[in-house]
Chains A and B, each alone.
Chain A
Amino acid sequence: MSLDLTVKVHPTVLFQIVDAYERRSQDKARIIGTLLGTYEKNGVEVTNCFCVPHAETQEELFIKMDFASEMYELHQQVAPLEMMVGWFATGPEVTDHSVLIHTYYSKQAKCPTPIHLTLDTIMANGRMSWKAYISNPMGVPGGTGGTMFSPVPVELVAHSAELVGMNVAQNTKYSKTKTFEPESDLSQFTGAVRNIEEMIDHLTAYVDGVLSGTTEPDATVGRQLLDMVHSVPKMSQEQFDEMLNSNIKDLLMVVYLSQLTKTQIQVSEKLSQLKL
């Protein structure tokens, strides 16, 4: 069991855990489920998960294992590359029952080192934190052995589309009804332009401050500013105008063609609807 394992988690997984937690039945304090993902060289990438019904009391633990295997098979049909890589539980800490569940998963899952992920949905420390563990046996040889859950670094990864989705979802925090309507393309664009404007204002304020002596100059920032200024391609005004104009002409021509096509389609449709 290599201890330099890194666990990469996609945000979708956390969303699903939170949603499953919200939908749990009244009598459950926490929920558990299976993690699906792929193995890479030095780590595990967790891309999906599903909740598994279970019941636990102080003394006993009961998990619907056939549910888990059926659900896993269904998921395999959609994503054959995703395998069971571990299990998750909500709650701030690892409990005694976790050991049992973990041993079950290490036998059941065809993976050597199942990952245990916890998501603190009750926010014991005022924050929703997530941790990953793998189990290591411990004890004195010859004596009673036990298992120890050792934490493993967790990294959140997302590809660009997921990031876009998350950014859109972020906006629901700011509305009373917790809803947010994604804007049209052009307004998203104006939003991005506004961001850039703010950034430039920020930069110019900093530079002005340094020049007038009010702000401490920082060498790295200065060097980065220099890089940025130098990265603007140097071209004479005529070259730039020419490039600009040719691009604009291309775009206008395409717009013209597409409008023409649209009109033509409408005309042909009207024709087909006329009585011949």
Chain B
Amino acid sequence: MASRSRKGGDNDSHITHVQIDGLAMMKIIKHCHQDASTPADDAQGVLLGLIMENKLEVTNCFPFPRSIDGVDDDRYQLDMMRLLRPVNVDYLSVGWYQSASSGNYISRQLLESQQQYQESIEESFVIIYDPVKTAAGALSLKAYRLTKQAMELVKDKGYFNFDMLRNLKVGHENMFQELKVVIRNSHLVNALLSELSEVFPETLNLEAMDLGTAPVLQRHLRSIMDCTDEMSQFHQFQKQTVKQQLEKTRYQQRRNVENAARKARGEPPLPDEDFNFKPIQPPRDLEPGVIVGGQMAIYCQQINNFCSQALAKLFLVDSLHQNAPQRPLGQ
């Protein structure tokens, strides 16, 4: 493979945006909507392209088969890249994409995959495509990379614990770094688009005007409710740990006081027994702390966006309705 320019050091500095070819975007859309009715939640694929000075170009992509065993993945990828060479497609994989309806993409698996990619190729990123939002009228394609702290956190492949979170100061807000996405088409594709615009007149995005807010809100709220259940387990654990910690310190103090008293009386100090505190079973691992938190933050953000739009639409309807009696439309 040709050597690619590696800008070492701080990887937040020089990449400003991601440039996607219209073709790659259409292929991602096609793959994620493949199973006619239900947009799949785990459609994944690889992005191919180039790394230029301050932008990452994505010129093509191919989907991964949704197989359970991960063994085939490498084979598939190698075969595909080998076959794409003779047709002159860029063979440098700059990242990968995943579909995530309503933005539910933060999961342990995503963090690990992204971390692997970023280890091998420093500037790689993941594109999250939201099929539900796009079908409703607004193209939703976002590019993310892990920040340095998040990389450290996931590197151990073990369980997060409080110390790691504390030391690295990782919160759900600084796990991902979002990159601007720009769409680019070559001249010939623009000519094709001009042809296509005659067949598909530019729709006026009427779905965006839909006043039916209930179903979308219901879906979002249900997802938040699921996340809240997980979070509550985590919070309980936190509370118990804090309580136990307090009791430990209190016990220790009492011990010290007693030992001082005993010393004053000349008796041997009590042996330092092991605290017979049952160690509280932590949850599976401290995923909820950061991951579910991040996921919930995203849901909340989406709800905010959606509600602000819905409010705008309602006010619009209100103003139209008020104007109606004064402006009878002539026949």
Give Cα A225–Cα B310 distance, bound, in whole angstroms: 27
* A218-276 at interface with B (beta carbon < 8 Å): 222, 225-226, 229, 232, 240, 244, 247-248, 250-252, 254-255, 258-259, 261-262, 265-266, 268-276
Q: Is B275 an interface residue (CB 8 A)?
A: no
Interface size on B, residues (CB 8 A): 108
Residues of B within 8 A of A229 (CB): 329
Give Cα A171–Cα B33 distance, bound, in whole angstroms: 23
B34 CB to closest chain A CB (Å) equals: 6
Judge whether A167 and B205 touch: CB under 8 Å.
Answer: yes
Residues of B within 8 A of A51 (CB): 87
B245 CB to closest chain A CB (Å) equals: 5
A15/B22 contact (C-beta < 8 A), A232-B324, A258-B300, A272-B238 known? yes
Give Cα A192–Cα B305 distance, bound, in whole angstroms: 16
Residues of A within 8 A of B139 (CB): 164-165, 168, 182
**CB-contact partner of B64 in A18, A78, A259, A266, under 8 A:** A78
Q: Is B257 an interface residue (CB 8 A)?
A: no
Judge whether B138 and A185 touch: CB under 8 Å.
Answer: yes
Give Cα A2–Cα B208 distance, bound, in whole angstroms: 41
Residues of A within 8 A of B79 (CB): 70, 74
A276/B242 contact (C-beta < 8 A), A77-B76, A258-B300 known? yes
Q: Is B26 an interface residue (CB 8 A)?
A: yes
Residues of A within 8 A of B196 (CB): 11, 14, 156, 166
Interface mask (B215-250 → A, CB under 8 Å = 1, otherwise 0) = 001000100100010010001001001100100000
Judge whether A178 and B187 touch: CB under 8 Å.
Answer: yes
A220 CB to closest chain B CB (Å) equals: 14
Tell me the dominant secondary structure on chain A's binding face: helix
Give Cα A127–Cα B290 distance, bound, in whole angstroms: 54
A211's nearest neighbour on chain B, judged by CB, is B330
Q: Is B311 an interface residue (CB 8 A)?
A: yes
Interface size on A, residues (CB 8 A): 100
Judge whether B303 and A266 touch: CB under 8 Å.
Answer: no
Judge whether A129 and B195 touch: CB under 8 Å.
Answer: yes
**CB-contact partner of B188 in A11, A21, A195, A199, under 8 A:** A21
Residues of B within 8 A of A156 (CB): 196, 199-200
Give Cα A229–Cα B331 distance, bound, in whole angstroms: 10
Q: Is B71 an interface residue (CB 8 A)?
A: no
A192/B208 contact (C-beta < 8 A), A172-B190, A248-B311, A265-B293 known? yes
Total contacts A-B at CB 8 Å: 276
* B275-331 at interface with A (beta carbon < 8 Å): 289-290, 293, 296-297, 299-301, 303-305, 307-312, 314, 316-318, 321, 324, 329-331
Residues of A within 8 A of B191 (CB): 123, 128
A120's nearest neighbour on chain B, judged by CB, is B195
Judge whether A179 and B19 touch: CB under 8 Å.
Answer: yes
Q: Is A207 an interface residue (CB 8 A)?
A: yes
Give Cα A12–Cα B203 distance, bound, in whole angstroms: 18
Give Cα A185–Cα B207 distance, bound, in whole angstroms: 13
Give Cα A16–Cα B31 distance, bound, in whole angstroms: 14
Q: Is B113 an interface residue (CB 8 A)?
A: no
Q: Is A181 an interface residue (CB 8 A)?
A: yes
Residues of A within 8 A of B72 (CB): 77
* B63-85 at interface with A (beta carbon < 8 Å): 63-67, 72, 76, 79-80, 83
Interface mask (A153-192 → B, CB under 8 Å = 1, otherwise 0) = 0001011111111111111110001111110011011011
Give Cα A196–Cα B162 distance, bound, in whole angstroms: 53
Specify which of B184, B299, B316 lies most central, judged by the most chain A CB atoms within 10 Å of its CB.
Answer: B184
A68 CB to closest chain B CB (Å) equals: 10
**CB-contact partner of A178 in B172, B184, B296, B300, under 8 A:** B184
Residues of B within 8 A of A250 (CB): 213, 217
A259/B300 contact (C-beta < 8 A), A78-B65, A166-B200, A167-B205 known? yes
Residues of A within 8 A of B95 (CB): none
Residues of A within 8 A of B270 (CB): none
Judge whether B171 and A261 touch: CB under 8 Å.
Answer: no
A168/B205 contact (C-beta < 8 A), A182-B141, A262-B297 known? no
Q: Is B202 an interface residue (CB 8 A)?
A: yes
Give Cα A246–Cα B172 distance, bound, in whole angstroms: 34
Judge whether A172 and B185 touch: CB under 8 Å.
Answer: yes
Interface mask (B124-135 → A, CB under 8 Å = 1, otherwise 0) = 000000010011
Residues of B within 8 A of A207 (CB): 329-330
* A91-144 at interface with B (beta carbon < 8 Å): 121, 123, 127-129
The stretch from B102-110, B114-122, B175-183 touching chain A is B175-183
**CB-contact partner of B183 in A12, A168, A265, under 8 A:** A168
B64 CB to closest chain A CB (Å) equals: 7
Residues of B within 8 A of A275 (CB): 166
Residues of A within 8 A of B66 (CB): 78
B235's nearest neighbour on chain A, judged by CB, is A268
Interface mask (B19-62 → A, CB under 8 Å = 1, otherwise 0) = 10111011101111110000000000000000000000001100
Shortest 4 CB-CB distances between A and B: which pairs?
Answer: A77-B65, A258-B300, A23-B88, A169-B22
Q: For the A-B complex with A48-B30, A50-B87, A247-B213 known, give 15 more contacts whose Cβ atoms are closer than 8 Å.
A: A19-B23, A158-B200, A161-B134, A164-B134, A165-B26, A168-B183, A170-B197, A178-B187, A182-B139, A259-B300, A266-B171, A270-B171, A271-B238, A272-B162, A276-B162
